[in-house]
Structure 1
Amino acid sequence: MAGGEAPLQLDLYGLLGVGEKASEKEVKKAYRQKALTCHPDKNPDDPRAAEVFHRLSQALAVLTDATARIIRLREEGSRQLQEQQRLVQEQIRLEREQHVQGKQEGNGAEGRITPKLKLKWKCSKDDETRGGYSEDVLLQILQKYGDVLNLLISSRKTGSAVVEFATVKAAEMAVKNEVGLINNPLKITWLEGQPRNNPSTVLSDSTSQPRTSQASAVSERDYESLVMMRMRQAAERQQLIEQLKREDEEESHT
C-alpha cells in the first residue's frame, strides 16, 4: 500500500487485527499490543517501521472517534430510510394508476369500496398517553403503507381506533406486517372491504388475465419483502446508533 493512502481507504480494523464490531476498548487494546511490536525504536533496522507505526496511530484516531462513527451510521441509516420512502411512494403511485384504470374499465363498483381496519391495543382509562398511540403516532405508523383517508380514535372505548385506507393493497400490507410499538403491540383486523380470495383466477389457463394476476401477486410479494427488509435494516441501524451513544456516555464517565 502506498504511504499516501488516506486512512479511510485502508482496512483499519484489519490493520489492528480486530473485527468491525470491536468496542473502543478492544480497539485501544489492539493498538497498544501492535504498537509495542511495531514501534520504530524497537525496529531500528526496519525502514518501514515508522510508516507502519504511523498507520496504526491513524487507525486508532479514526476508530476511536465516536462522533465520526455515529455520523457515518446516521448517514447510512438516512440513506436506507430515503430508499424505503421512495419504494413506498412508488407503490402508492402505481396503486393510484391502477385505481384510475379500473374505473375506466368499468370496475367502479369495486373501486368505490374503501378498506377499513380496526386497531386495538392495551390502554387503561386513566392513561393520558393512550398507551403511546396518539393520532400522530398512528398516522406515522400507518401512512408508510399508503394514503390514510380517515383515522378515528374511539373516545368511549380506550385502546381502539378505526383507520380507512385509500387502497386495499395498503390495508393488506398493514394487516400482514404492522406490529406497532414494541412495548405495546397493535392488533389489526379487517372491518370492511377485505378482498375475497378467488383461486380459480390464478389456476385458470383459458385467458391471459390469470397469468397477469399471478405475475402481479409475485411482484407484490417481492415488494413487500423488500420494504420490510428496509424497515428492519433501518430499525437495526437505529438500535446500533443508540448503543454507540450509550457506550460513549459510559466511556466519558469512566
Structure 2
Amino acid sequence: MAAIGPEADDIDHYEVLCLPSGEEGAALTIEQIEKAYRTQSRLRHPDKRPDDPSATADFQRLSSSYKFLRDESLRRQFDARLRGRREAAARAAAAGVKRRKAVSDLEERERAAAAGQPANPEEIAKREAKRTAADIERELQEFRAAKQAAVSGAASTSGHGDRKAGAAQDSVKTDKGKILKVSWDGSAYSYTAAELKDLFQKFGEVEDIVIKTRKSRSKSSAIVVMGTKDAALLAIKNDVSLFPLIVAPVQESGGLPARSTQTHESRTSNIDGTGFSDLEASVFRKLQEAQKRKQCG
C-alpha cells in the first residue's frame, strides 16, 4: 500500500492521470481510472520520449498516482483532503469578501465624516465598480499585447511559461463577449493552460488562454477566450461546475448579460461601455447556493 507523506500533499493524483479532480474525480470508477492510465502510459512512456530527460520521472509519477487511486482506502482519504481544501478556500474567500467590504464601508464613512457629509452607498458602489473595471481593462491590455506578440512570431510566455496560443488573429478586434476572466486560490490549487482548456472545452471551442503572472500565492487568474459568445455564456451559467474557479464575463455593451443575484454584496455595473461582475460577490453567492442545496438535501 502506498504511503501518504508530507511530500505528496501537493500532488493531485487525478490531474497526474489527466482526469477531472474534486467531486467529479471522486465519482470516477476504477474502470475509468484504468482507461486513463493506459492512455497516458502510451503517450508518456520514456520510449516515446527519448529526448526528454524528465520522461522517466514523469512516467514513475504517473504509475505511482495510478496505484494510489486504485487503493480504495487511500483514495477516500485523498478525496476527503481535497474536499477539505476546497471548503477552506471557500470559507477564506467568503471571509475576505466580508472583511474587504467592511473596510471599504468604514473608510467611506470616515471620508464622509471628515467632509461633513453622510456616506453615500451608491458612491461607494461606483468607486468599487470603477476599480474592478480598471483591473479588467488592464488585464485585457496585457492579453492583447500577448496575442499580438504571438501573431508576429514573438516568443511570448507568462511569468510561469504557461501560455497557450490559439488561432492567429488581430487581438484588438477580439469580441469581449467571448472573453472570460477566471481566478482561483493560488495557494490551494494550480492550473496549467492545458488543464483550463480541458475544463472549458465542454462548453465549446476555446480559442486562447493566458495565465496571468502570480503576484502572490493567494490569488491566480487567467483570461479564457471562447470560440463564441454562446460558449462563454454557457460557461458562466454553469460556473458552479468549475468550482473552485471563479468565472466572470468581460464584454462590451450589448454582449453577454450580467449575472444577477439577490445578495446585497453583489453588484453589476457598466462603466465606459465595459460590463463586468463583482468577482468577490460571485464567490459569496456560490457559498450561499451551496448552503441552500445542503439544507434542501
TM-score bucket of the superposed structures, by smaller chain: 0.3 to 0.5
Q: So what's the TM-score if we normalise by structure 1?
A: 0.33
Higher relative CO (CA 8 A, sep ≥ 6), structure 1 or 2?
A: 1
Bigger fraction of residues in helix:
1
Larger Rg: 1 or 2? 1
Q: So what's the TM-score if we normalise by structure 2?
A: 0.29
